[in-house]
Amino acid sequence: MIAPINEPNEFQLFVYTFLAFPEEGKNFDQAVYTLFELMDRPVEVVMIEEAFNEFRKRLAVFGITLNGIVRVPFCEEEMIE
């Protein structure tokens, strides 16, 4: 069943794209900052909104922030012959 447009769908999958960075002043070893600088490509994950929000909060506890977050609805790829 498809939820009406005006009703939120708690199982709607989204593709989230973002960059992750360690917070300044968190006493990370310099190697951690260097590692994140080297990982300059955006990360892409597919999650429901609630799971992504929890993921983001849990990373923040360890001093990792997500920047440049873009979210688009997920859709299955379709093979065209």
Which range of 4-8, 70-74, 77-81 scores highest in mean pLDDT? It is 70-74
Strand, coil or helix: 72: strand
Question: What is the C-alpha radius of gyration for the chain, rounded to an integer number of angstroms?
Answer: 16
The full set of domain ranges for the chain reads: 13-73
Binned at pLDDT 50, 70 and 90, residue 27 comes out as: confident
pLDDT at 30 over 50: yes
Strand, coil or helix: 11: coil
| pLDDT value, residue 78 | 84
Q: What is the pLDDT of residues 5-21, one digit of tens each?
A: 555 566 899 999 999 99
Cβ 54 vs Cβ 19: under 8 Å: no
Q: How far apart, in whole angstroms, are the C-alpha atoms of residue 29 and residue 36?
A: 12
